[in-house]
């Protein structure tokens, strides 16, 4: 099953399948967020804010519209 990170709930995880925006992809990849990286949603920010993620063991925060550009493949339920 595939889903952009922005649609995920706390605790869900998966592997990055692709990016939907090239410019965003360029920036994320420079920071070491690559296709194949493992992502887990740790929590969401107050005031309906961004996402606190664990990516390959590092902690990283993204805005919702930034997270919307990262598509994960997730195991299990279809």
Partner 1 sequence: MTIALVGNPNSGKSSLFNQLTGLRQKTGNFPGVTVEKKSGKLKLPGGKTVKIIDLPGAYSLYPTSQDERIVLNVLTNPKDENYPDAIVYVADITNLEKHLLLLTQIRDLGIPCLLALNMSDIAEKQNMKVNEQKLAGFLKMPVISVSGRTGSKVAVLKEKMGELLGSPSVHKKPFYPFNEVEKKTGGRIQAALKIENPYRAKLIAHHYNKLPFLSENEKKEIANICEAEKFQNLRLQISETMQRFETFVPALRSAIQQKGSGPVFTDRIDAVLTHKTFAPLIFFVIMFFVFQAIYAWATYPMELIDGGFAMLGEWVRQTLPAGWFTDLLTDGVLAGLGGILIFIPQIAILFLLIGILEEVGYMSRAVYIFDKLMQQFGLNGRSVVALVSGGACAIPAIMSTRTIGNWKERLITIMVTPLISCSARIPVYAILIGLVVPDGTVMGIFNLQGLAFMGLYLLGIVAALLSAFVFKKILKSDEKSFLMMKMPTYRWPVWRNVWQNIYQKVMAFVVEAGRVIMVISVVLWVLASYGPATAMEEAERSALATAKAQSLNEAETADLMAARKIEASFAGHLGKAMEPAIKPLGFDWKIGIALLTSFAAREVFVGTMATIYSIGSTDEETSVRDKLAAARNPETGAKVYSAATAMSLLIFYVFAMQCMSTVAVVRRETGSWKWPAIQFFYMGLLAYLGSLLTYQLMS
How many C-alpha atoms does 68 have within 13 Å on its Cβ side?
3
Q: How far is the CB of 39 from partner 1 (least distance, A)?
A: 14
Phi and psi (nearest 5°) for 22? -65, -40
Residues in the chain: 78
**In the complex, which residues of this chain contact partner 1 (CB under 8 A)?**
22-23, 25-32, 34-35, 42-50, 52, 56-63, 66
Q: How far is the CB of 33 from partner 1 (least distance, A)?
A: 9
Q: How far is the CB of 40 from partner 1 (least distance, A)?
A: 11
């Amino acid at each position: 099953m595939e889903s952009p990170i922005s649609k995920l709930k706390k605790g869900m995880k998966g592997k990055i399948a692709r990016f939907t925006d090239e410019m965003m992809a360029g920036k994320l990849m420079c920071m070491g967020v690559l296709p194949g990286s493992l992502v887990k949603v740790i929590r969401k920010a107050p005031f309906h804010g961004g996402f606190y993620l664990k990516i390959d063991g590092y902690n990283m925060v993204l805005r919702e519209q930034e997270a919307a550009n990262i598509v994960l493949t997730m195991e299990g339920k279809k």
